DNA sequence: TAACCGATTAGCT
DNA sequence: GCTAATCGGTTAA
């Protein structure tokens, strides 16, 4: 896989992304990168940023066994169970101890599509990875992956689309801090979990 | 140990 | 567009 050291000091850069930067920056930089778990995955087309100290973030109420990876080193996975059903994947950013991360909300499926169709019980490619819960099921995201480094097995993160056109909008499904326009998407992608109503270009 | 709450989805109307 | 389903983590007692 491609591993690019960005800062020269911090070993936190992969696929041209420096994960020691803010969630807001990393969320945008992840758009257009290819993410796979055990060779199954696709191109990231939708992300959301969650920053330390904001009420909508899982790190807001402090360190717990569940959210511990959020307070760990950047470029590691944080997996949580949503609504008691869906396993969702985040990537930790900033320095260790901050509690910031980026939720991966949707992929354009590219590799391992038969496995995704089997796990999801669906054949429509738009039903495989469009939404954090669907993506988690298609890539077999599990709590065992929580805390694992994003640059090592079973994860793989590569550069795919160069200079993607990115749009931004309001985060989905949150009740706290809705004013933060921290959802990002690949402009015009048919694999978004939901459309961006007002087309705010980044 | 019991109650409450979702960073959602699927299946309706 | 609307709503039920679903269950681990958190909080309060």
| C1' (C13) to CA (A63) span, angstroms | 22
Is the minimum distance from the CB of A56 to strand B below 7 Å?
yes
Question: Which A residues between 12 and 51 have a beta carbon under 7 A from any strand C atom?
Answer: none
| C1' (C1) to CA (A175) span, angstroms | 19
Instruction: Read off the pLDDT of residues A12-62 as tens digits, 9 standing for 90 and up.
Output: 557 889 999 999 999 999 999 999 999 999 999 999 999 988 999 999 999
Name beta bridge partners: A40. A37
Is the minimum distance from the CB of A103 to strand B below 7 Å?
yes
Look at residue A5 and give its three-state secondary structure: coil
> Does residue A4 register a pLDDT over 80?
no
A41 within 8 A of A34, measured Cβ to Cβ = yes
> Which of A11, A73, A21 has its CA nearest to residue A51?
A21
Nucleotide nearest to A86 (CA to C1'): B8
**DSSP, res A138:** H
Instruction: Read off the pLDDT of residues A74-107 as tens digits, 9 standing for 90 and up.
Output: 999 999 999 999 999 999 999 999 999 999 999 9
pLDDT of residue A5: 40
């Amino acid at each position: 896989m491609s591993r690019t050291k960005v800062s020269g000091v911090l070993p936190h850069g992969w696929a041209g992304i420096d994960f020691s930067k803010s969630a807001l920056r990393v969320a945008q930089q992840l758009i257009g990168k290819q993410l796979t778990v055990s060779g199954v995955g696709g191109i990231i087309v939708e992300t959301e940023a969650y920053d330390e100290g904001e009420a909508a973030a899982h790190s807001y109420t402090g360190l717990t066994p569940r959210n511990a990876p959020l307070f760990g080193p950047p470029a590691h996975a944080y997996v949580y169970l949503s609504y008691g059903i869906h396993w969702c994947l985040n990537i930790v950013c900033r320095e260790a101890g901050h509690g910031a991360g980026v939720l991966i909300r949707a992929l354009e499926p590219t590799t391992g599509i038969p496995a995704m169709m089997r796990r999801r019980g669906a054949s429509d490619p738009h039903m495989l990875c469009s939404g954090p819960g669907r993506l988690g099921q298609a890539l077999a995201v599990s709590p065992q992956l929580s805390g694992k480094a994003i640059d090592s097995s079973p994860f793989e993160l590569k550069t795919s689309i160069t200079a993607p056109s990115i749009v931004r909008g309001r985060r989905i499904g949150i009740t706290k801090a809705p004013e933060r326009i921290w959802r990002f998407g690949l402009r015009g992608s048919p694999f978004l979990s939901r459309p961006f109503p007002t087309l705010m270009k980044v």
